[in-house]
Amino acid sequence: MTAHIADVNVAVDARAARRELRRRFAGQLYIPNSAGYDESRRAVNPSLDARPVIIAEADSALDVSAALTWARERQVPFAVQSTGHGTYVPSDGGMLLKTSALKRVLVDPDRGIARVGAGARWGSVLAAAAPFGLAPLSGSSPDVGVAGYTLGGGLSWLSRRFGFAADSVLRAEVVTANGRIVTASRDEHPELFWALRGGGGNFGVVTSLEFRLHRVASVWSGSAVFPLERAAAVLARYREWIADAPDELSTAIVLMPSWPSTGGPAVAIRAMSSGSPATAVDALRPLYRAAGVPLWEDFGEAGFAETRMPGVAPLNFDLFETLPDPVIEHLVDAVRRPGSRVGAVEVRHWGGAMARPTADAGPVGHRQVPLSVIVEGPPESAEALAPYATGGTFLNFLRDPSRVESAYTPDNYRWLQTLKGRLDPDNMFSVNHNITPATPRTHRVYL
């Protein structure tokens, strides 16, 4: 096979980069056409085909510092990836730093905290915490990486009771834009600590996190499935019902053209309660009355670590203050219409502890908005919803990097830009859902 000229140039530069980095980098290094390169560059998003010049798999925070310093000195584009679940910007022509080897998980059951490396996945944390009756604020999939999920906010089925995953963070080890390794907490570098808890990967490379675990020995969860003909009535009741829902009960209404357990179009009430099952059953009665007799249901009690609540892929995600009739009509029609390419619709209740942040809580999204709607289908399947949505979004579910500002309140976004101008004025951390730095006034990197 004949190589393109551009490919040869990249290969020569990559070999030189590997020689330079090898002197101070202990982890694995991969360049184009080397064994392991294609596997290491892959993200979960199949549409990304990133071609970094070099991939550096860090073994420690010192490795992260060495890689970042090398990229900064040479003005090479710099991207960070743990598991690749949150990757939507390709690391073409630059360095891709992998933190997947930093996966140590330590649980302190007496203090109820976990210290977790940036490469750890939620499954490892769940397994380590469960024997002590503790639970992290993990999401729907145990395969998702802890760091990216948490830095983007982190919406858990336990979040109505305990807040976002970012709200449980106590401290973080971070490599800043100038290569320094620092600890960020309420007492050390508090501005950086604030920005990390919802600001994504814009303010440094997090190499480990320490966060609170929560006393949740078991949960009651499952789904009740009803004929799709009841969907409009269920959604209309749901928009009123959420006002009095207890914090320990998280719910979603899901519409599908073909529900796996019934084989036909259906609407489902999906719920998880970390409180009393009897209280949850009683709270759900108004929704059941609107839905009728279930075709199938599987509610039961189990440990949080063993519970699986599958999510709907957030291809089109919007936030809503309420569900007007035209929105309900569109959602039902999107699933029912012959030839529709919509695979599922999810309406989810937020609120609870997420809407009651502490005074120093991080900049996670639009906390006061009570509802989200996901339409799993092509973009045009959700266009009719735009006039009724708030225009805001949530960083973890944002697929369009050009809309980062919409993930924050205006005040929080302005302050994030100001901090970006102080902490990363050259925008080293830009191959991501990027927050552009405001022009620094008096100094550049201050950490």
Q: Tokens in use for 68?
A: 């970042």
Whether residue 320 sits in one domain with residue 392: yes
Whether residue 386 sits in one domain with residue 254: yes
The DSSP bridge partners found for residue 171 are 185, 210
Q: Give domain status of residue 415, yes or no.
A: no
What string of pLDDT tens digits covers the 447 residues of the chain?
333 323 334 333 788 888 889 889 999 999 988 888 888 887 777 777 778 889 999 999 999 999 999 999 988 899 999 876 556 666 777 899 999 999 999 999 999 999 999 999 999 999 999 999 999 999 999 999 999 999 999 999 999 999 999 999 999 999 999 999 999 999 999 999 999 999 999 999 999 999 999 999 899 999 999 999 999 999 999 999 999 999 999 999 999 999 988 889 999 999 999 999 999 999 999 999 999 999 999 999 999 999 999 889 999 999 999 999 999 999 999 999 999 999 999 999 999 999 999 999 999 999 999 999 999 999 999 999 999 999 999 999 999 999 999 999 999 999 999 999 999 999 999 999 999 999 755 445 546
Give the closest residue to 75 by CA, choosing from 438, 427, 444, 435.
427
Whether residue 136 sits in one domain with residue 124: yes
Which residue type, as a one-letter code, is found at position 194? Answer: W
Whether residue 117 sits in one domain with residue 239: no
Q: Quick one: DSSP state of residue 429?
A: B
Q: Tokens in use for 434?
A: 């990027």
State which of 40, 70, 98 marks the end of a domain.
98
Whether residue 367 sits in one domain with residue 254: yes
End-to-end CA separation in angstroms for the chain:
49
Give the closest residue to 324 by CA, choosing from 289, 371, 358.
371
Whether residue 177 sits in one domain with residue 241: no
Whether residue 284 sits in one domain with residue 160: no
The pairing of strands 78-81 and 95-98 is parallel
What pLDDT, on a 0 to 100 scale, did the predictor assign at position 3? 33
Distance CA 234, CA 358 (A): 34
What pLDDT, on a 0 to 100 scale, did the predictor assign at position 285? 98
State which of 54, 71, 98 marks the end of a domain.
98
Whether residue 155 sits in one domain with residue 32: no
Distance CA 136, CA 214 (A): 6
> What is the domain extent for residue 182?
105-215
**Helix (H, G, I), strand (E, B), or coil: what is residue 271?**
strand
321 to 149, 240, 403: CA distances (angstroms): 24, 11, 20
Predicted TM-score (pTM) of the model is 0.93
Q: Give domain status of residue 132, yes or no.
A: yes
What pLDDT, on a 0 to 100 scale, did the predictor assign at position 311? 85
Phi, psi of 431 (to 5 degrees): -85, 70
Q: Give domain status of residue 436, yes or no.
A: no
Whether residue 271 sits in one domain with residue 366: yes
Length of the chain: 447
What pLDDT, on a 0 to 100 scale, did the predictor assign at position 13? 75
CATH classification at residue 77: 3.30.43.10
**Helix (H, G, I), strand (E, B), or coil: what is residue 366?**
coil
Dump strand ranges (E) for 228-354: 249-256, 266-273, 296-297, 300-302, 317-320, 344-349
**Helix (H, G, I), strand (E, B), or coil: what is residue 290?**
helix
CATH classification at residue 194: 3.30.465.10
Q: Give domain status of residue 433, yes or no.
A: no
Whether residue 179 sits in one domain with residue 228: no
State which of 190, 215, 240 marks the end of a domain.
215
Angle in degrees, 0-180, between the axes of helices 61-74 and 5-22, rounded to the nearest 10: 130
Give the closest residue to 147 by CA, choosing from 212, 81, 69.
81
What pLDDT, on a 0 to 100 scale, did the predictor assign at position 17? 83
Q: Which residues of 339-378 are buried (b: 16+ CB within 10 A; e: fewer)?
A: eeebbbbbbbbbbbbbeebeeebbbbbbbebbbbbbbbbe
Whether residue 314 sits in one domain with residue 195: no
Q: Give domain status of residue 33, yes or no.
A: yes
What pLDDT, on a 0 to 100 scale, did the predictor assign at position 86? 54
Q: Give domain status of residue 53, yes or no.
A: yes
Q: Give domain status of residue 308, yes or no.
A: yes
Residue with tokens 């199949």: 46
What pLDDT, on a 0 to 100 scale, did the predictor assign at position 269? 98
Would you say the C-alpha torsion 273, 275, 277, 282 has a positive or negative sign?
Answer: negative
Sequence-separated (6 or more) residues with CB below 8 Å from residue 83:
44, 100, 119, 121, 143, 144, 145, 148
Q: Tokens in use for 318?
A: 């919007």
Whether residue 262 sits in one domain with residue 136: no
State how many domains the chain has. Answer: 3
What pLDDT, on a 0 to 100 scale, did the predictor assign at position 4? 32
CATH classification at residue 239: 3.40.462.20
Q: Give domain status of residue 191, yes or no.
A: yes
